[in-house]
Structure 1
Amino acid sequence: ARELGYTEPNPAEDLNGLDVARKALVIAREAGLELELENIQVEAAVPDDLAQMTEADEFISALEKYDAEFQKIVTAAEAEGKVLRYIAEIDNQNIQVGIQAVAQDHPLYTVQAGENAMVIHSSFYNPVPIVIRGYGAGADVTAAGLFGDLIKTMSVETSL
Structure 2
Amino acid sequence: MTRPIVWALGVFGVAALSAGQFVSNGPPGAVAPASVAGTGERLLVIASDLRGHYIVHPTIGSARLRMLVDTGASFVALTAEDAGKAGIRPGPGDPVRTLSTANGVVVARAVRVREMSVGDIVVRDVEAVVMPPGSMGVSLLGMAFLRRLKGFEVSGGRLTLRG
With normalisation by structure 1, the TM-score equals 0.24
With normalisation by structure 2, the TM-score equals 0.24
Q: Which has the higher helix share?
A: 1
